[in-house]
Structure 1
Amino acid sequence: MPAPAHLDPRLLRAFLVVAEELHFTRAAARLYVAQQALSRDVRRLERELGAELFVRTTRQVTLTADGERLVPYARSALEAQDALLAAFGQARPLLVDLNSPGLATGRRVLHRARELAPEQELMARYESGLTGAAAELLAGRLDASFGRFAGLDPALRAGLDHQPVRYEPMAVVLPEDHRLASLPAVPLAALAGETVYAGAGNQRTPEWTDLARGLFEGRGIEVAPPAPLAVGDEEFQRLMAKTGNFVLAVVDFPAMPGAVLRPLIDPVPLSPVSLVWRKGLVHPGFDALRRAAFELTVEEGWLRRPADGWVPAIDERTMNIHN
């Protein structure tokens, strides 16, 4: 097999950590990735090199002769990359899009990353939705964002990568004097005949509107027609009060005057949230961001789905491929 023209440094790093640990579970913990994802990376490197690097049994992992031969080359390549990052990575902050100031998932990941790497400057940006952020990511004007990766146009996804972070339970915002406001949680069937705002017409959030359409299909729930784009919380709240529509949200959505937030049940709809970045991104603060996302996902059980959880099949496949 001819030598590959390019090797992804991520694959070399995965190989080297497994070579040092000789244990896939411990290596995955060091790299802040799922064990399945680490195994896939090692197999991909073996395919690209045309060589078996490890002998795996139920009891142990050992290096093959080719694996032993690769270790010094992998270490030299990664040391050179680290030296390059040290020389150039401090030139600018890592720009992290949180979509909206009121959403908790991305904000918690960013705060944890700042704790993990206090010497790095990680700065928040607010692009409203993942589709709105994707063009900025690809152009290098943003470094990372959060949102529904499977909802992006395939042409955008081709230049991006992602790390599943959370299945975020969805909720509905409704007027505080509505008959459903007295319920601790709102069954989806109770929304039949209602019109619910889900960002229709907002060119920055079509992935969210598409998720709503899939959820409402066959349940007699209407997606509210496009409304004027409201910029800022105050304008959004004014517009929603004027239309009187319910609002599809997530459980961490900030409070709105005159309205209540209620989780949705029967089934529990889930909004798939990934950390998203452009392929090839290198920045010394990025490792801390990925590590923070991994730690919170594990600690909070963010990727555990309830027995009656609902998520589109395309999202399930996309989230599982990195899990």
Structure 2
Amino acid sequence: MFRDIEPRLLRAFTVVAEELHFTRAAARLYVAQQALSRDVRRLERELGTELFVRTTRQVTLTADGERLLPYARRVLDAQEELLAACASGARALLVDLNTEGMVSGRVLERARELAPDVELMARFLSGLTGAAAEMLAGRLDVSFGHVGGLTPGLRSGLSHQLVRYEQLAVLLPYDHPLADRAEVALDALSGENVYAGAGNPGTQEWTELARELFAGRAIGITPPAPMAVGAEEFRRVMAKTRAPVLAVVDFPERPGAVLRPLVDPVPLSPLSLVWRKGLNHPGVDALRAAATELAEEENWLDLFPGSWLPADSLPLSPD
């Protein structure tokens, strides 16, 4: 048996073990499925055992695969710690804010005040599902979002800290019949089709949250469509489709639209700070401290009486 095993082979095995699906695992790793299969077969040859039972209908772990999985995860975690230690915090930490002007931006600003010598670089991706794949692939370090809405495979490689319960809102065309209300009751959206990112692979956790919130209320979700990027394109698409957009109360203003909080009940989305497991960097420490300070100062973790939370909400932190 080979005495030295490449971490890449262990990473391929671990992701397939989490997904139990070679196509999904290849997409998470941004590699071709054939290349992923070759890496898994090579690891099996080097270990002298089969790790998966493959049929045309499913993929399952063998007993040897089950035994290997916790060891493989520890090796990969140790590699992350080694790389972080060698970097000594010198490299920039890449932080996804999703959208400018949101709570995540305030956490980043406070973290920069707490750790002025640490370079925290903002990025703007679309949705935590997409950001999670980037974090697991090592191309992004930190993001924000509803971590409970991620698939178990994605979530298993991430750590999180609950930052805030964000009240949900709806963006309406300025001349929509509900636009003159200070608040919009959920039942008032009955018969409407609301945009919630359906079809965008990077925002699956947001779309599923919307499906759960709208279930039994006769509120539909608009069919998949390309995401509007930029304020002017957003204005044009909203004017054309006139579809309300599910958002949060801190969502930035958009031309041609008004933002109204949702009530009866008050729906909340758990916003978490999310980072790759095993990532040791002073920037992560600063972000966690900043999130804790702001949550305490502004009561971000208080719940509204009679509020609604998604069923897959997670506790403050698994650590």
TM-score in terms of structure 2 length? 0.71
Q: 2:107 aligns with which of 93, 106, 109?
A: 109
**CA distance 1:229–1:175, shift in 2 (3 Å):** closer
Distance in 2 separating the partners of 1:106 and 1:321: 17
Distance in 2 separating the partners of 1:227 and 1:319: 33
Q: 1:257 aligns with which of 255, 278, 282?
A: 255
Q: 1:211 aligns with which of 171, 193, 209?
A: 209
Distance in 1 separating the partners of 2:199 and 2:121: 29
Amino acid at match of 1:96: V
User: Post-superposition shift, 1:305?
Assistant: 0.7
Distance in 1 separating the partners of 2:228 and 2:133: 21
Mean Cα displacement is larger for which, 117-126 or 235-244? 235-244
Q: Is contact 1:85-1:284 (8 Å) kept?
A: no
User: Post-superposition shift, 1:90?
Assistant: 3.9
Amino acid at match of 1:281: L
**CA distance 1:86–1:161, shift in 2 (3 Å):** closer
Q: Is contact 2:194-2:243 (8 Å) kept?
A: yes
Aligned twin of 2:40: none
User: Post-superposition shift, 1:88?
Assistant: 2.6
Distance in 2 separating the partners of 1:86 and 1:193: 55
> After the TM superposition, which residues 276-291 of structure 1 pair with which residues of structure 2 at under 5 Å, given as runs?
276-291=274-289
**CA distance 1:204–1:86, shift in 2 (3 Å):** closer
Query: RMSD in angstroms over aligned alpha carbons?
Result: 2.0
How many pairs does the alignment contain? 239
Amino acid at match of 1:231: V
Distance in 1 separating the partners of 2:89 and 2:161: 24
Distance in 2 separating the partners of 1:126 and 1:254: 14
> After the TM superposition, which residues 167-246 of structure 1 pair with which residues of structure 2 at under 5 Å, given as runs?
167-246=165-244
Amino acid at match of 2:225: A
Aligned twin of 2:315: 319
User: Post-superposition shift, 1:179?
Assistant: 2.1
Distance in 2 separating the partners of 1:279 and 1:86: 14
Q: Percent identical across equivalent pairs? A: 65
Distance in 1 separating the partners of 2:183 and 2:211: 21
Distance in 2 separating the partners of 1:142 and 1:85: 14
Q: Is contact 1:132-1:204 (8 Å) kept?
A: yes
Q: Which SS does the other structure have where 2:282 is aligned?
A: coil
User: Post-superposition shift, 1:178?
Assistant: 2.0
TM-score in terms of structure 1 length? 0.70
> After the TM superposition, which residues 49-88 of structure 1 pair with which residues of structure 2 at under 5 Å, given as runs?
88=87
Q: Which SS does the other structure have where 1:114 is aligned?
A: helix
Unaligned runs of 5+ in 1: 1-81
1:126-170 Cα distance to aligned partner (Å, 9 max, x none): 111101101110111111100010111110001111000011000
User: Post-superposition shift, 1:284?
Assistant: 1.9
Q: Which SS does the other structure have where 2:207 is aligned?
A: helix
Amino acid at match of 2:199: G
Aligned twin of 2:90: 91
